[in-house]
């Protein structure tokens, strides 16, 4: 079995890998944002500005959570 922790730490010490991963997660974030908006619309609650804002916040928080990990690993030099 591979050591996933070591693999992740090694890969995210390379700037190219971090940039690629962050860009991919931003694309996923836009997909989540659209998904939340579509889900709210399917439920019939798309007219409220607060609900639309909630979709943006949820997508941003989830995307931010995935993006911060490789950035922190890169900035620490793989010593997290």
Question: In 10 A of CB 59, how many CB atoms?
Answer: 20
SS3 label, residue 78: coil
pTM to 2 decimals? Answer: 0.81
Our count of domains for the chain comes to 1
**Mind listing the pLDDT tens digit for each residue in 36-45?**
888 888 888 7
Q: Which domain holds residue 12?
A: 4-76
Q: Looking at 15-19, 24-28, 48-52, 53-57, which range is the least confident one?
A: 48-52
69: Cβ contacts below 8 Å, ≥ 6 apart = 12
Nearest-angstrom CA–CA distance, 57 and 74 = 26
Q: Please report the sign of the dihedral spanned by the C-alpha atoms of residue 9, residue 12, residue 13, residue 17.
A: positive
CB 36, CB 55: distance < 8 Å: yes
pLDDT of 57 strictly over 90: yes
């Amino acid at each position: 079995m591979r050591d996933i922790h070591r693999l992740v730490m090694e890969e995210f010490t390379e700037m190219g890998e971090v940039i690629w991963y962050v860009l991919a997660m931003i694309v996923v974030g836009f997909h989540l944002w659209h998904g939340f908006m579509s889900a709210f619309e399917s439920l019939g609650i798309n007219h409220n500005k607060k609900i639309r804002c909630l979709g943006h916040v949820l997508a941003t928080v989830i995307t931010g959570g995935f993006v911060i990990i490789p950035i922190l690993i890169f900035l620490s030099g793989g010593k997290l």
